[in-house]
Amino acid sequence: MSPEKFSEPTLCWICGSPCSGSRVTCSDECHEKLVDRLESEFGIYKKVVDIETGKIHRVPTRDIIEKGLRQQDMRRYPEWSMTCQ
């Protein structure tokens, strides 16, 4: 038992069971439910502004949940054009 397991107890966002590591859900099943829930709430893509260039990028909500979003990843995503809302 490592002490950091006690300092940061994480409970599954979906069912409330304890999670391991840095995950926010306890299982793949709950993870998929979380992605579904957030996609229906925020949309499949989110508009994210690159603070360096001021451009808006079209970033899949799933990627933000699964990988997080770092500044250097931003330019890998296509720019959000006005014609595709």
CB 14 within 8 A of CB 33: yes
Considering only 14, 31, 57, 59, the residue that binds Zn ion (CB under 5 A) is: 14
Does 31 help bind Zn ion (rule: CB under 5 A)?
Answer: no
**Measured between alpha carbons, how far is 2 from 54 in angstroms, rounded to an integer?**
43
Does 12 help bind Zn ion (rule: CB under 5 A)?
Answer: yes
Considering only 1, 6, 21, 26, the residue that binds Zn ion (CB under 5 A) is: 26
Burial, 31: exposed, middle or buried (Cβ in 10 Å; 0-12, 13-18, 19+)?
Answer: buried
Number of residues that bind Zn ion (CB under 5 A): 6
Residues in contact with Zn ion by CB under 5 A are 12, 14-15, 17, 26, 30
